[in-house]
Structure 1
Amino acid sequence: MKRIIIVLSISALLAACTHTSEDPNITKQELKVHMDFLASDSLKGRYPGTPEDAVAADYILGEFVKAGLNTKSPFGLQEFEVIMSLKTGENNHFVFNDIQAVTGEDFTPAPFSASISGSGEVVFAGYGFEIDSDELLWNDYMTIDPLGKWIMVLRGNPEMDSTSSPFDPYSNDRDKAMLAGDKDAAGLILVSGEKFDPEDNLMSLKSRESAVSIPVIHITRNLANQLLEKSGKSISEIENEMNERRIPVSFNTGTELNAETEIIPESKNTYNVIALLEGTHPDKKQGYIVLGAHYDHLGMGGPASSSREQDTVGVHYGADDNASGVISMIEIAEKLALSENKPDRSILFIAFGAEELGLIGSKHYVDNPCIPNESIDLMVNLDMVGRLRENKLQVNGSGTALESEEIVTRIASDSFNLSFSPGGFGASDHSSFYSKNIPVLFISTGVHSYYHTTQDNEEKINYEGLIKTSDLVGDIIQEIAQMDSLLTFQESGPKERYTGRQSRTRVTLGIMPDVTSTDETEGMGVEFVTPGKPADLGGMKKGDLIIAVEGKAVNSVYDYMYRLGKLKKGQLIIVTVKRDEEKLDLLIQL
C-alpha cells in the first residue's frame, strides 16, 4: 500500500510541477491542468480513505504551497478517521435443533445489528408491523408475546408490486428492528420472501448504519423453512397467504434459537487540507474568511455507494462534484495571494475530505478548528460550480448575514442570473459552519443529469463559466475582507430536513438534527431550533442532546425519525435531553 501511495504521490507532484504562474488571472489552461489530474482515471473517483484520496490531498496541498500560502502546523493536512465499511467478526453464530448455520452462506448480521448474543424461542410475526393510522390497520404482534423471543419477519410488505403502497413507510428493515427492540425481543430475524427477492441474496455489510439495541440477522429462505419445520408451514406459503388475504399471520414456532452477532467497523484515515493567506491589516487580520470545497467523491460507485447508477462499477470522476469547486478554490487562492491589493482579513482555504459520507470532514474541522470559530466572519462553500448554464448561479445561505444578498447582488451586477436561498443548512459543508453561528454562502451552478454518475467527467465542464464564477467568488471575498465592519449574523434555518426516503413522520419538532451521530455517542445532537416551533416552545436549545422520546432511547437520526413516526399531531410528549451533563425532561406539544 505504501508503495502505491508513493508512486501516485510522485504522479501528483509531477502534475503539480507542470503548472506554474505569476499571473493572478484565472485561465482555462490552469483550471484544465487541475481538472485533468483530479478527475482522471488514475485517481479512481477519490473515494475517502483510499490511496487515490491521499494523492488528491497531496496534490491540493502542493498547489497551496505553490500559491505561497501557509501550510505549516496547525495548518496543512488535518487527519481524521472515518468508518468505511463493516465486516463480520468471529463471533457470529446461529444454532437450533443441532443445526449450526454458516455465516455468509445461510445468514449474515444486518448492517444495523447490535453486536450481542441472544437465546429464546423463535416467534413468527408476519411482516413485523404494528400499524394504527387513519389509512391502515395491521398488527403482527397482537396475538404473540415478543418478550425475550426471537422475532422472525418477512422483509417488505404485502404489496411489493405496488409503486405507492400505504405499507411503504412502515417497510424499512431498520424500523422493524426498532419496533422489535422496543418490545424487548431477544432479536430480529429477517427473511426475504419470493416477492421481495426471488434470488434470496443476503444483505451486504458495505453500508455504514447506526446500530439498533438488539441483534438483527438476515437468513435465507431455506434456513427459515428449517426453523419453521415444526409448524408445518413454509415461507412461500405464509407469504402467499398474507399477500392474498391481507391479514397478519403470527405464531409460535416451538423452536429454540441460540444466536450471536458481531460486526466490526473498518476505519480508514483521510484528510482536510488547510492553508492560510494571512491578512495585511494589523487588526482586521485577526478575523477570517473561510473558502472551502470538498475534494472526495464516490470512487468506483456500485450498489453500496450513493451512485445513481447502482448497477455500474466504474470510475465516478466527480469532475463537477466536486473537482470544480476544488480547482476554483486553488485558483482563487493564487489570485488573492498574487494580488497587489491583498486582503485585509485573513483567508483560510480548506479542501474537505469525506463530504460524500455525510459532511464528516467539515464537521471534524469545526469541532477541531485551527483558529477559533468565533473569529470566522464568513464561510464560502463551493460545491458543483463547473456547469454554468444561462448564467444561472445559486447562492444559498444569503439570509445568514444581514448584508450578504446586497453584497453579492452588487458585485455580480448583471453578469449572472442569481437565485438566492436564505437558509443556512443544506447538503454540503457550509452546514457545519452555520451550526456554529457563522454566516455562510453556498455557491453552486446546480445539479444536472450527470450528478453522481460515471458521466460527470472533464468533458462536461464549462471552463468559461467556471472562470466567471471563480472571479465572482474572489471579488466577493475581497470585498468582505476589506470591510471595516463585520457581517451581521442571523439565523436562517429550514423548516424541515429531507430524510432521503419516504417517511411516515407526520409531525415535526422543528429542529435540525446532527446527522453525524455514531454508535460511540449517546443521543442525537440538535444543530438548530426553529423559532416558534414545538421544540422551541418546549424549551429545547441548540446544542442539546436528545436521548429519548417518550422514554424510548434515541441514539441516531434514524432512531429520531422512527420515534417521530409513532407520534401524532396534537400529542403532548416528553423529550429527554442532555444539556451540559444535566438530563432534562421537556414537555412538548406537537
Structure 2
Amino acid sequence: MNKNTNSLYTYILIVTLGLVMIQMKNIGAYQSGSSPSITENDIMDHIRYLSHKDRAGRYPGTRESKDVISYLIRQFKSFGVKPGGENGSFVQPFNITDGIELGKNNSMIIDGDSLVTGRDYMPLWFSGNETVSASAVFAGYGFSIDEKELKWNDYNGVDVAGKWVIVMRHGPERNNQHSLYTPHSGLHKKMLVARDKGAIGIIYVSQVEDTDLYPLKYIAGYSNAGIPAIHLSNEIADELFKAVGWTRKNIQKRMNQSLKTVSFKLPKTINASVDLNPIQTRAANVVGLIQSGNRKYRNEYVVIGAHFDHLGMGGTGTGSRKPDTTGVHSGADDNASGTSGLLELAHKLVSKKSRLKRSIILLGFDAEEKGLLGAKYFVDHPLVD
C-alpha cells in the first residue's frame, strides 16, 4: 500500500452488516444502479466454507488457517480488490506466542535442599525469568480487597517487600462461580497484588482438594509482570508448613470458616531461578484496498474489519468454554458470519469505487481470540501513514 500520503484519518468500524449498509451512503457508495447484490445465499456460502469441519476451527498458524487466508485472498482478487498488505501482498504477517516451554536454567533450593522441576515445583506460564534468593512470608489467599461489599487484606501488618510471598490458590468459596471472591482468586491476579505490595517472587500452594502439580501450559492474555511465579507440590508445601506448626488443611479450614487471613513468616531461605521460553507461531492479517479516485479525500481511509480466526480444536489455553474436551470449534457466528459480511461488502464496494469519496481498507484480522492480537498489530504497525 502506498505510504506516501499526506494525511490519514482511520476509522475502525465494529458494526453489524446492517449497520454498515446504513453507513455506506455516508461514504458515497450506496447508490442506485447495477451492482452485485448482497444475498443470503452468498453470505451462507462463505459461512459454510469458513465453519466447515475441514477448516478445523481456523486456529492461527495452522494449515487450516492458511487455507482460510488463501480463500480470503482469492475472494478479494475475484472482486477486484487490490493488495493492501506488506510488499504489495494481501497479508500482514506477525508473530504470536502460542506456547511455553522450560529452558535449561530452572532451579529451586529451600535451605540448601534442591528441588526437582516438574516433580517438586513448576514455574507458571506468566512467570518472569528471574533469579531470586530471599526469605518468605505466607500471606493467606493473597487477597487485598477493599470494596463496599467485601473487605479482606492478607497483607495487613505483613511486610513482604523484598521477599517471597507464599499464597494459597483459589479462595474460600472456590465452587461458587458467583462468589465475590472469584474475581480476586486467579493466579495472575494474586501475582499482580504481590508484586504491587513489593514481593520479588510468588509461590502458590494448593488447597487440600488439589492433588496435582499445576502443569506448565500457556494461556493467552496474561502478561509477564517481571517476578518469578512458581507452584509448589503438596509434599514440599506440607514440609514447609510443618516447620512452623501449620498444615495446609488447618490453614484452609481456619480461613474458610472465619473468613479472615492467616499470615506468618517462614524461617526459610528460598533460592529459585526461572527460565521459560515462549513458543512462537506465525499469524497474518489479510488486507485489501479499494482506492478512491477523489483527489481531496483519497488519502483518508475507512477500515472495515472482521476476525476470521477461532479456537481450533479447543483444549487448554485456547479460550474454549470446555477446555477439558477437544473437537472442532466451528465458530460460525464468531466470526465466520462477520468475515462473510466483510467479503460481501468488499464485492459491493468495489462495484461503486468510482463514487467513493474515501479509500477503503478491508481487514481480516487473525489471532483475535488470542487477545485481539491481529487488531493490535495493525494499530501498532499501520500500513498507511
Q: TM-score range by the shorter chain?
A: 0.7 to 0.9
Q: Which has the higher contact order (CA 8 A, sep 6+)?
A: 2
Whether 1:121 and 2:135 are equivalent positions in the alignment is: yes
Stretches of structure 1 lacking an aligned partner (at least 5 in a row) = 1-21, 373-590
Whether 1:202 and 2:214 are equivalent positions in the alignment is: yes
Distance change (3 Å), C-alpha of 1:255 and 1:59? same
Deviations along 1:442-497, one digit per CA (max 9) or x if unpaired, are xxxxxxxxxxxxxxxxxxxxxxxxxxxxxxxxxxxxxxxxxxxxxxxxxxxxxxxx
> Residues 200-349 of structure 1 correspond to what in structure 2 (within 5 A)?
200-208=212-220, 209-338=222-351, 343-349=356-362
The AA in structure 2 aligned to 1:69 is V
Tell me the equivalent position of 1:501.
none
Cα deviation, residue 306, structure 1: 2.3
Whether 1:89 and 2:88 are equivalent positions in the alignment is: no
> Residues 319-468 of structure 1 correspond to what in structure 2 (within 5 A)?
319-338=332-351, 343-372=356-385
Tell me the equivalent position of 1:156.
170
Contact 2:142/2:154 (8 A) holds in 1: yes
Whether 1:36 and 2:48 are equivalent positions in the alignment is: yes
Deviations along 1:529-587, one digit per CA (max 9) or x if unpaired, are xxxxxxxxxxxxxxxxxxxxxxxxxxxxxxxxxxxxxxxxxxxxxxxxxxxxxxxxxxx
Distance change (3 Å), C-alpha of 1:250 and 1:293? closer
Stretches of structure 2 lacking an aligned partner (at least 5 in a row) = 1-33
Tell me the equivalent position of 1:188.
202
The TM-score with structure 1 as length reference comes to 0.54
Deviations along 1:2-59, one digit per CA (max 9) or x if unpaired, are xxxxxxxxxxxxxxxxxxxx98234455444433322122221111222222221111
Distance change (3 Å), C-alpha of 1:115 and 1:23? same
The AA in structure 2 aligned to 1:70 is K
The AA in structure 2 aligned to 1:25 is S
Question: What's the Cα RMSD here?
Answer: 2.9
> Residues 476-487 of structure 1 correspond to what in structure 2 (within 5 A)?
none
Tell me the equivalent position of 1:575.
none
SS in 1 for 2:287: strand
SS in 2 for 1:301: coil
Contact 2:125/2:216 (8 A) holds in 1: yes
- In 2, the alpha carbon distance for the partners of 1:27 and 1:138 equals 57
Cα deviation, residue 225, structure 1: 0.8
Cα deviation, residue 218, structure 1: 1.1
SS in 2 for 1:289: strand
The AA in structure 2 aligned to 1:174 is H
Cα deviation, residue 353, structure 1: 1.3
Distance change (3 Å), C-alpha of 1:87 and 1:285? same
Deviations along 1:322-377, one digit per CA (max 9) or x if unpaired, are 112222222332334346975454332221112222322223223333333xxxxx
Contact 1:39/1:323 (8 A) holds in 2: yes
Tell me the equivalent position of 1:71.
83
User: What number of residue pairs does the alignment pair up?
Assistant: 349
Whether 1:47 and 2:59 are equivalent positions in the alignment is: yes
- In 1, the alpha carbon distance for the partners of 2:148 and 2:355 equals 64
Cα deviation, residue 62, structure 1: 1.5
SS in 2 for 1:311: coil
**Identity %, equivalent residues:** 37
Distance change (3 Å), C-alpha of 1:283 and 1:263? same
Contact 1:155/1:173 (8 A) holds in 2: yes
SS in 1 for 2:82: coil
The TM-score with structure 2 as length reference comes to 0.80
Cα deviation, residue 75, structure 1: 4.8
> Residues 461-540 of structure 1 correspond to what in structure 2 (within 5 A)?
none
Cα deviation, residue 109, structure 1: 1.5
Whether 1:110 and 2:124 are equivalent positions in the alignment is: yes
Cα deviation, residue 202, structure 1: 0.6
- In 1, the alpha carbon distance for the partners of 2:39 and 2:49 equals 16
Distance change (3 Å), C-alpha of 1:232 and 1:318? same
